[in-house]
């Protein structure tokens, strides 16, 4: 069970989970659009159980999307009632708009780098730091990898590559997961792969057939796919371990 910590220099709250024994590296866990939800704190705890110091920053709390608000919006969007979904959509659009504003990114990337600052000072980390993000957080995994040379690895679950990002600026190897039915993101993958290849980036993508967005989120019965999620988790851990061993 983790604890909430404060990074006052970035006006940021984060969830921190520590391993039961000596740390073998650290992981920044970046949330979905639903905020610092139970799913994200659970993933953070899972990394800690494997021996990593894991920190999940509450980026969206900065714009008022608390876990409670995120849970309510997710329930409305996936509750099966068209009227309720219609009610939730304007609120979700407002949240997404605030999260996509340039001034938010201008705050969020330095805030994430502040988490790296914290982790780099922890005993047992020894420079072994990775980022793993989901959806909104998958995009910010790319963003942090573009901005932060201290990362050893980055993993992006169904996240879009930043529109103003240059693959040549990636500072570490990247592993990205996609659902074949998540066309809004996956349809652009061939172009992204071509850009990565041209830039000489260390980029590996894995597309799962028969699933869409948020296949890893076990709190969403409509999107979760346990077999695919288990495979992606295994690949994630293997990827991190391989690059921490370099």
* Model pTM score: 0.93
Q: Which tens digits make up the pLDDT trace of 68-125?
A: 776 677 776 676 567 666 766 777 777 777 888 889 999 999 999 999 999 999 999 9
User: Which alpha helices (H) appear in 1-149, and where do they start and end?
Assistant: 38-49, 67-78, 82-100, 102-120, 136-147
Quick check: 66 pLDDT over 80?
no
Q: What is the pLDDT of residue 76?
A: 67
pLDDT digits (tens, 9 = 90+) for 151-187: 999 999 999 999 999 999 999 999 999 999 999 999 9
d(CA 216, CA 230): 8
Which pLDDT belongs to residue 84?
66
Average pLDDT, stretch 48-61?
Answer: 96
- pLDDT in the model for residue 98: 83
The whole-number pLDDT of residue 154 equals: 98
Q: What pLDDT shows up at residue 226?
A: 98
210: phi then psi, degrees, rounded to nearest 5: 80, 5
Q: What is the pLDDT of residue 62?
A: 87
Other CB atoms within a 10 A radius of the CB of residue 204 amount to 15
Q: How far, in whole angstroms, is CA 46 from its chain's centroid?
A: 14
pLDDT of res. 90: 77
CATH number of domain containing 114: 3.40.50.1820
| Token reading at 62 | 């900065």
Confidence band for 1, pLDDT divided at 50, 70 and 90: confident
Number of folded domains that form the chain = 1
Instruction: Round to whole Å and give the CA distance between 118 and 239.
Output: 23
The residue behind tokens 């495979």 is 231
Per-residue b or e along 2-27, where b marks 16 or more CB atoms closer than 10 Å to that residue's CB: beeeebeebebbbbbbbbeeebbbbb
The whole-number pLDDT of residue 81 equals 66
pLDDT at 93: 76
Q: What is the mean pLDDT of residues 141-152?
A: 98
For residue 208, the tally of other CB atoms under 10 A from its CB is 21
pLDDT for the residue 156: 98
Containing structural domain, residue 60: 3-244
pLDDT of res. 112: 98
At residue 64, the pLDDT reads 82
* pLDDT tens per residue, range 201-230: 999 999 999 999 999 999 998 899 999 999
């Amino acid at each position: 069970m983790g604890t909430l910590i404060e990074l006052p220099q970035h006006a940021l709250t984060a969830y921190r989970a520590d391993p039961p024994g000596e740390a073998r590296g650290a992981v920044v866990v970046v949330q979905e659009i639903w905020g610092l939800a139970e799913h994200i704190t659970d993933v953070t705890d899972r990394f800690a159980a494997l021996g990593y110091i894991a920190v999940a920053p509450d980026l969206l709390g900065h714009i008022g999307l608390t876990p409670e608000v995120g849970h309510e919006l997710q329930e409305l969007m996936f509750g099966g009632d068209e009227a309720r979904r219609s009610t939730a959509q304007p609120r979700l659009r407002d949240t997404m708009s605030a999260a996509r504003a340039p001034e938010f990114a201008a705050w969020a990337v330095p805030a994430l780098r502040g988490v790296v600052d914290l982790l780099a000072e922890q005993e047992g980390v020894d420079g072994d730091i990775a980022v793993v993000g989901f959806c909104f957080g998958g995009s910010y995994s790319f963003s942090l990898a573009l901005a932060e040379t201290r990362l050893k690895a980055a993993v992006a679950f169904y996240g879009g590559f930043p529109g103003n990002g240059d693959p040549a600026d990636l500072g570490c190897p990247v592993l990205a997961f996609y659902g074949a039915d998540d066309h809004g993101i996956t349809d652009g993958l061939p172009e992204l792969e071509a850009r990565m290849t041209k830039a000489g980036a260390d980029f590996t993508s894995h597309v799962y057939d028969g699933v869409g967005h948020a296949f890893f989120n076990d709190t969403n019965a409509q999107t979760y796919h346990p077999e695919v999620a288990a495979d992606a988790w295994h690949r994630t851990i293997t990827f991190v371990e391989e690059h921490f061993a370099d």
